[in-house]
Structure 1
């Protein structure tokens, strides 16, 4: 053994050191684990010492650990050292690219969720899309890594990248052209008065900055709101601490936010501090099928304590507690160590089979195919998963995700072939950028504030004809009846995008929200509470 390469020896000794620190209730289990580690160490040693050709043992070990993690739940993973930093950037920093959260499943780049407000979302990239080619070059292969994905999709703001996407339910590949941009670093998209005395706040993720952003949104108000609409649509989660902060803004002192338990982890409870500044303020929370993890913790706590109605559609169902275990080379093992439970005892996590990630994500898609986004009755949950809220004793359901109190079907009433083509290729965004490149100074003089802009620029005034002419140059023309279906929404989208470019992201939602059924229903429910 003394001829063993020094790096391999260090790695092997470090592994044995970690084993010595692990809590092992049964000596037999410890002996079995030691035997397995020794077996692996022997195999690596013999290969290194006697194999005919050279072998990248570092890469081989990475692949072994990755394969092992793939046999666990859908959210446990191994992250090589070179990719650790980049995996946390969406929550901690900023970068220029197309803006997706992704995973590599069976050698294929799979979109987990488009980052809210990013170019990928703007052109219509969806969760579960498979990106199989970038700029015409096929990328699906055993050599595909996170680092390679970053190098392909990131790039200077304003540069274009063409994506070939395989989408379930579509017979042919879809083609998107995405203009790279700076990915939003802020977690709070909008905060404004949705109605007299009613504040609307939209949070796209729970980041390190969420607490400060949320507090800042209330600092300069002349008065505190009598009601709050908290929009968590498309919020895929983030840092648990930020979610706990958000939940306890609405909960009384000592009221449970969540508890964790399962496996080798003892039950741990988190209770509100009672320091929230909206404890007595009526709240309505909006969620949808893309709301996950930390978003579900917030919605579940508010629902279980009967603090406010949940409006929208069933959330994703990601409720596993993950712990980071740093390895000796700077890589990390992200392991699920427990499950999140809402205060009433519901499990947030959707059911899964270990090692079957593909099946897990396919079942999420099957919800849509069953019509769950359009009809509440399509959701079948057994009575065994019924729980009771903690104050009003209402029935709520577990079994994966948070079920809304008020169901709002997804709105596709404005979808036409023309609208879909515009969205997939990012035509509306590209046109608005081009339009403002020429008209920004004039519009800035004409509309000094958003209020003036919103009042004076009617839907009839937006440059819709310019958009259709621009799209025609790219071979996209409306079919018969397409404009009857989509024109009003496209005009609203143009106005919202111009508003966001001139006055900030929050103004996009001030324009678009009034035509969205989820927002309208939330406001209706809130008016009933005041």
Structure 2
């Protein structure tokens, strides 16, 4: 009976509305109610109505747009967590290496930090439960280490070369999920801030970082939104407000009901003057596009990188009767010049989410010449610059994806945890020595080098963990691919039983295919450059263990071509004059 009441509540929710889309709404709402009643009253078997309604809801939303989604009750808290800015736990980041929970970082001021937990510690027991073995995965760790604020957990820890485990009693607390983990002075005039998401706490985090950098003499800013998939619309407005002068439009929303909103800049901006460069890529979306679009439209700064994702739809979350949640698209958003950034989605969800692969296949990630826009999608800024709508923010200065920075060998080492595993072992023996040599990140960046001997030790460790310089032949898989690609030719050449008496042509074709296929796989190993990638990775892992994550990230940026070019751009007044952009 309770299930029936839930179904009726669900149906009534959708039958009562303030604004009907069209005359067919009530008829179809009644159809749903009739069907549910019929299933409840006369269907042959017992039915799980929760499953039926959830499946129907998911499929219904799929027909609307790519970003209207249903979140089951048990997943709502986890789905909202990244944007709420905090969760209850013990305050560590971890990685599972060889079925063991390794502490990678201890959050300063958190519960684990207060009792003395350290990066490199291995958690072997949680309360009375063994925390090693095949059963250990990320879900297991989060289930047993997280918990309500104020509750206690007992951890048994292995540390370094100590043979005796250590016991820690930790009281869980609120753990901040910072959206800004990296900000620093690049040089005496230029600051850098990386924003990972537009969360509830992001505006305050941004203001704090901005003020700290200005106190150190910052006059110019590189604002990194690469990989930032968005978040709260109001936070995007508030951060953009830091850059845009009073009363200028930042973003507006609209829909067929004409119930959209306009967001104009206030007088509160803390960085309305000074050179500004915003970094974006194909994974910058939604709120990231609001900020970069407003800055571009008002000629306030330069957008550098690659065309953004193209998500211009606004979702509003609301709860259903059982506390599950729907995030429903309610508007499209538009930049100040009137650009709608939403890319097309009329060809279905699969095509929509495969669009980034399509860009890659067309060469857009490596060549600006492969991108073209019709005149109908061209808009003009106040200073007369041309900007583009119809599918993401097109940067002012294009930086291609560095396709040479790929190695299947390097990727395999990452997947198998080689760098973190080696680093933890190395730190057990040499951490104090390294801290003495490099007491801060500046000295580490300036002086630390991965020696040939250290590189050989890393490769030796990798080989012991099953990583090989070569790739396996995978004969069966390659043979299947051969038959698939050459099916028509083989069927034509060997059309009857007598033809198989002469297999010389087949053998030559097959041998050529296998040799070329294997050669391509070896080329993807990129053995000529992989050692360079390994050095960069181990430098980051070492820095991450010696300093904070934000400081370690600076070592990653040292070889980041987009960042390197951004620094050159922001120090070149001629480029800002060329693009008629504020300085």
TM above 0.5, one fold?
yes
Is the contact between residue 242 and residue 269 of structure 2 (CA under 8 Å) also seen in structure 1? yes
1:317 to 310, 319, 323: 310
1:8 aligns with one of 4, 7, 15:
4
Counterparts of 2:240 and 2:556, CA distance in 1: 27
Among 60, 63, 67, the alignment partner of 2:59 is: 67
340, 344, 361: which one aligns with 1:351:
344
Q: Deviation string for 1:130-149 (max 9, x for gaps)? A: xxxxxxxxxxxxxxxxxxxx
- In the alignment, what sits opposite 1:130? none
Instruction: Provide the C-alpha distance between the structure 1 equivalents of 2:74 and 2:141, rounded to a whole number of angstroms.
Output: 21
Secondary structure of the residue aligned to 1:87 is helix
User: Structure 2 CA distance, aligned partners of 1:455 and 1:346?
Assistant: 45
1:470–1:193: structure 2 CA closer, same or farther, 3 Å change rule?
Answer: same
Shift in Å, 1:312 = 0.5
Counterpart for residue 154 of structure 1 = 139
1:106-255 alignment, distance < 5 Å: 153-156=138-141, 185-221=177-213, 222-255=215-248
Q: Bigger radius of gyration, 1 or 2?
A: 2
Is the aligned partner of 1:521 residue 2:513? no
Distance 1:402 1:98, change over 3 A: farther
Q: 1:19 to 1:47 in 2, by over 3 A?
A: closer
Which of 340, 362, 367 is equivalent to 1:370? Answer: 362
Distance in 1 between the 2:137 and 2:467 partners?
A: 27
List gaps (5 residues or longer) in structure 2: 96-103, 106-135, 145-174, 471-521, 574-582
Q: Is the 8 A contact 2:254 2:333 kept in 1?
A: yes
Q: Is the 8 A contact 2:441 2:552 kept in 1?
A: no
Cα deviation per residue 1:230-265 (whole Å; 9 max; x = unaligned)? 011111111122211211111000111101112324
Q: Does 1:484 align with 2:476?
A: no
* TM-score of the pair, normalised by structure 1: 0.78
Does structure 1 retain, via aligned residues, the 8 Å contact 2:6–2:321?
Answer: no
- Cα distance per residue 1:50-108 (max 9 Å; x no partner): 22221111221111111111111111112222221121122223578999xxxxxxxxx
**Which position in structure 2 is the counterpart of 1:425?**
416
Alignment of 1:357-506 (within 5 A): 357-389=349-381, 391-460=382-451, 463-478=454-469, 482-506=526-550
Give the direction of change, closer, same or farther, for the CA distance of 1:334–1:152 in structure 2 (3 Å limit): farther
Unmatched 5+ residue regions in structure 1?
A: 100-116, 119-150, 160-182
Instruction: Give the superposition deviation at 1:17.
Output: 6.0
Tell me the distance in 2 between the aligned counterparts of 1:13 and 1:219: 50
CA distance in 2, matches of 1:306, 1:219: 23
- The Cα shift of 1:184 comes to 8.6
Contact 2:380 2:387 in 1 (8 A): yes
Quote the residue 1:90 is aligned against.
Answer: 82
Q: Deviations for 1:477-529, whole angstroms, at most 9, x for unmatched residues?
A: 33599453122232122112211222111122321212111001111110013
1:285 to 275, 278, 289: 278
Q: 1:341: which partner in 2?
A: 334
Supply the distance in 2 between the matched residues of 1:512 and 1:279 (Cα, whole angstroms). Answer: 29
* Counterparts in 2 of 1:510 and 1:152: CA distance versus 1, 3 Å: closer
Separation in structure 2 between the aligned mates of residue 19 and residue 323 of structure 1, nearest angstrom: 19
Alignment pair present for 1:42 and 2:86 = no
Superposed displacement of residue 283, structure 1: 0.4
2:68 is aligned to: 76
Contact 2:14 2:29 in 1 (8 A): no
Give, in whole Å, the separation in 1 of the partners of 2:392 and 2:334.
11
Partner in structure 2 of residue 262 of structure 1: 255
What is the aligned length?
449
CA distance 1:465–1:10, shift in 2 (3 Å) = closer
Equivalents in 2 of 1:456, 1:6: separation in Å? Answer: 68
- 1:296 paired residue among 289, 292, 303: 289
Contact 1:202 1:232 in 2 (8 A): yes
Match of 1:135 in 2: none
1:5-34, Cα deviation, whole Å (9 max, x unpaired): 4552464256436633422386xx2xx322
Shift of the 528–43 alpha-carbon distance from structure 1 to 2, 3 Å rule, reads same
Report deviation, 1:336: 1.0
Give me the whole-angstrom Cα distance separating, in 2, the residues matched to 1:449 and 1:488: 24
